[in-house]
Amino acid sequence: MFDQTKKSSHVHNICKFMSLKNDAVVRTLSILEFDFCFHLEYNVDVESFISQPTGFYYKFNQRQCRYTPDFLAIDQNKQSTFFEVKHSSQILKPDFRARFKEKQNVTLQEFDRRLILVTEKQIRLGPVLTNLKLLHRYSGMRTITKFQKQVLAYVQGKGMVKLQEIAHYFELSEAETLVATLPWVSSGHVQTDYKSAGFGLDTYVWC
C-alpha cells in the first residue's frame, strides 16, 4: 500500500471542497471529482468520506501496477466503499475495463470493499447537482436569524408546505424565501426532494 500525494500538475486540477460532514477540506484531482463531493456530502447514508485514500497494487498483464481510488466513503453502518470517478468517454476502452475488473477483484479480496464506478452522467444528472450546490452555499451558516427560526416553526406547524405558501404568508420574494428556508434544508432540519426539479416556489419542504 502507498499514499497518493496530492500535488498540482499539468494533468491535475486540484480543487478544494469544504465538507461540514467531515469538518475538513477535501482535495480532489479533477472538477468532476469535486462535483461528486456534493453527492457524498448530502447523501444521508454516507457518514464520512475522503479523497485519494491509501492506494494498493494489482497485477495486470503479468506486471505489478499501482492504483489509488478517487474516494473512500463510510456509511452509517461503518461499511466502507471505494469510488472511481471517470468521464464516460474513458470507460468504454478495453484496457480500462480489463484493468478496472482486476482492481475490483483486489478490493474485494484484500479489503472486503466494493469498488464502484461513477461517471459524469450520474454526477451531473438533471437538476440534482445544481440543487446540491445551492444547498452547499447555505451550509454552515453560523448565525440563524430570529426570522429564520419563525420560518422553521411555520414549516414544523404545517408538516409539509410549498415554498409559495411560505412566500405568501411572510410576504417574501422567491430569493428571500430560499434564503429563509435552504439553511434549514442544508442542516437537515427540513427535508425536500432535490432530485425532481430545481429549487423554486413550487418546491415542497417538510419536517
pLDDT (mean) for 132-148: 87
Residue 109 clears pLDDT 90, i.e. is over it: yes
* Lowest-confidence segment of 23-27, 92-96, 136-140 by average pLDDT: 136-140
Beta-carbon neighbour count of residue 184 at 10 Å? 23
Angle, nearest 10°, between helix axes 174-187 and 128-137?
A: 90
Strand partners, 113: none
Give the C-alpha distances (Å, rounded to integers) separating 93 from 33, 77, 128: 20, 35, 28
Q: How much is the pLDDT for 143?
A: 78
Rounded-to-integer distance, Cα 74 and Cα 47, Å: 6
- pLDDT at position 130 is 96
Q: What is the pLDDT of residue 2?
A: 47
Looking at residue 8, its pLDDT comes to 47
Task: List Cα–Cα distances, 164 to 93, 95, 136, 138, 154, in angstroms.
Answer: 48, 52, 22, 20, 13
The percentage of the chain sitting over the pLDDT mark of 90, rounded to a whole number, equals: 87
| Full-model pTM | 0.90
β-partners of residue 72 are: 50, 82
pLDDT at residue number 13: 77
Higher pLDDT, 156 or 141: 156
> Please, what is the average pLDDT of the chain?
93
**Beta carbons within 8 Å of 103's beta carbon, 6+ residues apart:** 58, 67, 84, 115
pLDDT over threshold 60, residue 84: yes
CA-angle at 191, arms to 73 and 189, nearest 5°: 85
Q: Using 50, 70 and 90 to split pLDDT, how confident is the model at 140?
A: confident
Mean pLDDT of 90-119: 97
Averaged pLDDT for residues 37-63:
96
Q: Which of 72-76, 139-143, 144-148 has the highest mean pLDDT?
A: 72-76
pLDDT at 5: 47
Per-residue pLDDT, 139: 86
Tens of pLDDT, residues 6-41: 544 445 679 999 999 999 999 999 999 999 999 999
Q: What is the pLDDT of residue 102?
A: 97
